[in-house]
């Protein structure tokens, strides 16, 4: 199961510093697998680039990394507040966990 957590547009300052001249939206999702007695929580990050009338989408999901929803929410908040992209997801998760 996948549930939308939150979404943000990358700040103009960050885009300007990277030399990017089009909007980028980041979406953060909670994932859940309930196969066993104990649910396993994961995280998915979706990056959408709105460039030249097209939408380019990049996605990264990490499954079964946490055992409780409270920790999942805390990690998703960190990811959102720091505008973490799919590319940086695994590195940030290693630091946080």
**pLDDT per position as a tens digit, 6-56:** 999 999 999 999 999 999 999 999 999 877 677 789 999 999 999 999 999
Structural domain boundaries in the chain = 2-92
Q: How confident is the model at residue 65 (pLDDT cuts 50, 70, 90)?
A: confident
- Which pLDDT does position 36 carry in this prediction? 67
Q: What global pTM score does this model have?
A: 0.91
- Which pLDDT does position 88 carry in this prediction? 95
- Is 77's pLDDT higher than 90? yes
* φ, ψ of residue 31 in degrees (nearest 5): -120, 150
CB-neighbour burial class of residue 55 (10 A; exposed 0-12, middle 13-18, buried 19+): exposed
- Which pLDDT does position 64 carry in this prediction? 85
């Amino acid at each position: 199961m996948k549930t939308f957590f939150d979404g943000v547009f990358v700040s103009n300052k960050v885009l300007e510093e990277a030399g990017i001249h089009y909007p980028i939206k980041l979406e953060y999702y909670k994932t859940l697998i309930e196969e066993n007695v104990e649910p396993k929580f994961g995280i998915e990050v979706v990056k959408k680039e709105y460039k030249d009338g097209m939408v380019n989408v990049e996605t990264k999901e990490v499954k079964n990394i946490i055992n409780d929803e409270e920790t999942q929410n805390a990690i998703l908040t960190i990811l959102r507040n720091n505008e973490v992209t799919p590319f940086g997801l695994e590195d940030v998760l290693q630091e946080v966990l």
